[in-house]
Amino acid sequence: MNDKEKRGNHISAEVRAQEGEDGKRKIVGYAVKWNELSNPIFGLFREQFERGAFQKWLSDPNNKVIASWQHRLHEVLGRRPKTLEVYEDDIGLRYEIDPPSWADKYVETIERGDVDGSSFIFIPTVEEWDETQDMAIRTIKEAQLHEVSPVTYPAYSQSTSDVRGADGEFRSADKVFEKFKNSKEDYSADLAMKKKKLELLEKI
């Protein structure tokens, strides 16, 4: 099983509050936008999500996804499928939260623009790597979604100066890149061995 990973966007109005049909305020935002390359993740690689990456996971109503405030699990804002809606559209992975009344103060901070970032926790299940560019590019083709969260400082935001608790997140990113490099080395070694066997057979 792959480890959980955390990513985020820090774009103005990425998260906002809006009034629903029932007159109640909702928290809405995009956790990720399709095929948009991230800035370098701790200088190791860049990353993008392919459209449909979460479709398989979201199609099963038994797969739970929660929304929390600042990734604090004791402050749950919503849970799929009742008080949290998560779906894919042409832009990216969108979420809509029906927050509880005690979260009114948090909704206000979003309305004021004090909190304008989104972050999410996922487990990649299918990915591709491209090393033909100056920096390796990781494309997530399929993933499990476990949590979305309005945050002040998204993990791996547009600038690493915004990162908080970066040490643990660097180790996570480093582990991802190391796993890719190791798998590539194993593949190259296997290919070299097969080539050597073929050369020996040709001499017989």
CA-wise closest residue to 83 among 71, 104, 99:
99
pLDDT at 111 over 70: yes
φ, ψ for residue 128, nearest 5 deg? -130, 150
Which of 13-17, 62-66, 124-128 has the lowest average pLDDT? 13-17
pLDDT tens for 70-109 read: 999 999 999 999 999 999 999 999 999 999 999 999 999 9
Domain containing 30: what range? 5-165
Return the exposure string of 12-28: e unless at least 16 CB atoms fall within 10 Å of the residue's CB, then b: eebbbbeeeeeeebbbb
> What is the signed CA dihedral for 116, 34, 159, 151, rounded to 10 degrees?
30
Q: What is the pTM of this model?
A: 0.74
CA 33 to the chain's CA centroid:
10
Beta bridge partners of 5: 122
Q: Is residue 98 in some structural domain?
A: yes
Beta strands at 25-33 and 92-97: parallel, antiparallel or unpaired = antiparallel
pLDDT tens for 137-160 read: 999 999 999 999 999 877 554 333
Q: Is residue 97 in some structural domain?
A: yes
Number of domains in the chain: 1
Q: Is residue 158 in some structural domain?
A: yes
